[in-house]
Structure 1
């Protein structure tokens, strides 16, 4: 189900003071929850996270948490970062298992941006969405939703209902009849002309 694995250790102490002590030893506090089981406090070596987290695939793929006695499979659900340091303060993991359908935010990647017809004609690209929430089976979660904008013209836009997603993947906003705009090409002269238009008085 996954190519990502990381060593973890259960932890008994909770609270801010315990977390600060843990971080001073080079460990990061975390919690594992979900699947109808009690939440489990755990700790992971900060150096291992520095290797794992730069890989964007880690955020949409199943992670195997390897404990001294047993394993758990999970998704990264939340990461709390230091306000100004490249340092992980805390992580949340959600337990998952084969066959389960889960919700996850995945990034949107735009293809053929440099050859887009509307941009080549002088239009300005507006990205209304950079990610979208999807539902998909564990093991088939897309790493990204790819959208080809090569033929998009000035004045045109694309909405969620107009794109094709992998089999088994559901775009959750559409389940709520929220057909969000994803991307559009604007005419840059529209804004300039509006600013130059003379004011009218009653």
Structure 2
């Protein structure tokens, strides 16, 4: 799973746009922690620390431990609002994680053993339909990525979710169909040659 991230925060004593603007002028970002059948907790975090966490590239799929007044709360980032002009973060929503929580996340896919794919060895092209998989998994077992083995796949084959071995404790959030993740298609040169051959045969 992605590395655990930590942020220090302070309680937000006043709500409203004016109070939020004042916080941002001081280099702070308003935020809220909600969920786990508890009252929402309004806080603010240091903008520089938040940007550093965002720059890891896996902020949205990482557990973030937020310390407020010595108390640590395990959370998952759910939404980050950015300023339309400056692109600075202006608000963050964190979902509180209870014990044994399961969560819905999007995890990137990668492809392995391409040299063992007859279709790719013949010049076929891997056409990726889904770059991420929607998974339901334990909050403390979020995978960094899902590696999909393309061994044995030929031109014209499709790779479905049923072909993928998911980590223990993870399952697909889409359960009503065996959806396609990628296909192996013929390159344009191979398609043209096949078309010419069919014309000759005719």
Map residues 151-166 of structure 1 onto 2, 5 A cutoff: 151-166=152-167
In the alignment, the residues of structure 2 paired with residue 53 and residue 111 of structure 1 have an alpha-carbon distance, to the nearest angstrom, of 28
The equivalent residue for 2:199 is none
TM-score by length of 1: 0.82
TM-score by length of 2: 0.82
Specify whether residues 138 and 129 from structure 1 end up closer, same or farther in structure 2 by C-alpha distance, changes over 3 A only. Answer: same
The equivalent residue for 1:21 is 22
Specify whether residues 115 and 47 from structure 1 end up closer, same or farther in structure 2 by C-alpha distance, changes over 3 A only. Answer: farther
The equivalent residue for 1:39 is 40
In the alignment, the residues of structure 2 paired with residue 84 and residue 158 of structure 1 have an alpha-carbon distance, to the nearest angstrom, of 41
In the alignment, the residues of structure 1 paired with residue 180 and residue 57 of structure 2 have an alpha-carbon distance, to the nearest angstrom, of 24
1:86 deviates by 4.5
In the alignment, the residues of structure 2 paired with residue 37 and residue 189 of structure 1 have an alpha-carbon distance, to the nearest angstrom, of 57
1:98 and 1:139 in contact (8 A); partners too: no
RMSD (CA atoms): 2.7
Structure 2: runs of 5 or more not aligned: 196-202
The equivalent residue for 1:30 is 31
In the alignment, the residues of structure 1 paired with residue 116 and residue 91 of structure 2 have an alpha-carbon distance, to the nearest angstrom, of 41
Q: What whole-Å deviation, never above 9, does each CA across 1:153-200 have from its counterpart, x for those lacking one?
A: 2111111121110111111102xx12221011122339976xx9xxxx
Structure 1: runs of 5 or more not aligned: 197-202
1:105 and 1:133 in contact (8 A); partners too: yes
In the alignment, the residues of structure 1 paired with residue 132 and residue 38 of structure 2 have an alpha-carbon distance, to the nearest angstrom, of 30
The equivalent residue for 2:107 is 106
Q: What whole-Å deviation, never above 9, does each CA across 1:86-121 have from its counterpart, x for those lacking one?
A: 421221110003312222222222234577543342
In the alignment, the residues of structure 2 paired with residue 146 and residue 173 of structure 1 have an alpha-carbon distance, to the nearest angstrom, of 18
Q: What whole-Å deviation, never above 9, does each CA across 1:50-101 have from its counterpart, x for those lacking one?
A: 2212223433232110112411110111122233544212211100033122
The equivalent residue for 2:129 is 128
Aligned residue pairs: how many? Answer: 193
Specify whether residues 68 and 181 from structure 1 end up closer, same or farther in structure 2 by C-alpha distance, changes over 3 A only. Answer: same
1:19 and 1:29 in contact (8 A); partners too: yes
Specify whether residues 168 and 10 from structure 1 end up closer, same or farther in structure 2 by C-alpha distance, changes over 3 A only. Answer: same
